[in-house]
Amino acid sequence: MLERTLVILKPDAVKRQLCGRIISMFEDAGFKIIATKMTIAPKELLERHYPSNNKWYTSVGNKSIDNFKEVGLDIKDVMGTDDPLEIGKTVKKWLVDYMTSGPVLAMVLEGNNAIKNVRKMCGNTIPSNADPSTIRGKFSIDSSDVANAEHRPVHNLIHASGEPDEAKYEISLWFGSENA
Ligand code: ATP
Ligand code: MG
């Protein structure tokens, strides 16, 4: 099924001059670029881009908790709590600061099952756990335990919409509903 999805090359991808290589991977796979925008995004946009509900906060918090467990560290030593909700809220604050700290390249990609296929190419949220053939695994080895100790989100180069409703919402937010 032909679909559109929102991709954002994050400040680490732009700073490291990886945009061309990442876009090539999508074009090589057959995705068509429908719209692009290089921008220093306002905080208010990122506040609306990332969810503010307990389910999302908890999911983000649990990624840290799992990651700390994997490496045998106590999350309380770094985050002061082991409550996934509180950890998720803290990560969102860092994320909004990070995403507005420099230019990002937002784009709408179109292709067969674009939402699922683009996510597959991005790989696991935590680059250290991402398959080396994916964008996050190929260009980064960052992990939550290291990132959280430095009071920052993981630098994983790319955002991609997770499901159809999210894609529609995010494309409208960044590019207007006529592109969704
Ligand atoms: P994205 O939404 O950016 O495509 P994702 O859906 O894989 O990534 P989310 O759970 O939506 O991941 O988290 C959004 C972003 O927040 C991640 O891409 C990452 O940059 C950051 N992040 C999420 N969880 C953590 C964490 N536990 N520690 C540090 N950073 C995190
Ligand atoms: Mg997400």
CA atoms within 13 A on the CB side of 102: 10
Q: Is 151 a catalytic residue?
A: no
Give the three-class secondary structure for 111.
strand
Which position among 49, 151, 155, 159 bears the catalytic label?
Answer: 159
DSSP H helical ranges for 43-155 = 43-49, 54-71, 75-79, 84-99, 114-122, 135-139, 144-149
Site of tokens 């881009």: 49
Q: What pTM was computed for the model?
A: 0.96
Q: From CA 15, how far away is CA 140, in angstroms rounded? A: 13
Fold of the domain built from segment(s) 2-175: Alpha-Beta Plaits (3.30.70)
Dump pLDDT digits (tens) for 36-47.
Answer: 999 999 999 999
Ligand 1 neighbour 159 (Cβ under 6 A): yes
Do the Cβ atoms of 3 and 164 come closer than 8 Å? yes
Give, for 13, the enclosing helix (H) or strand (E).
Answer: helix 11-15
Dump pLDDT digits (tens) for 88-139.
Answer: 999 999 999 999 999 999 999 999 999 999 999 999 999 999 999 999 999 9
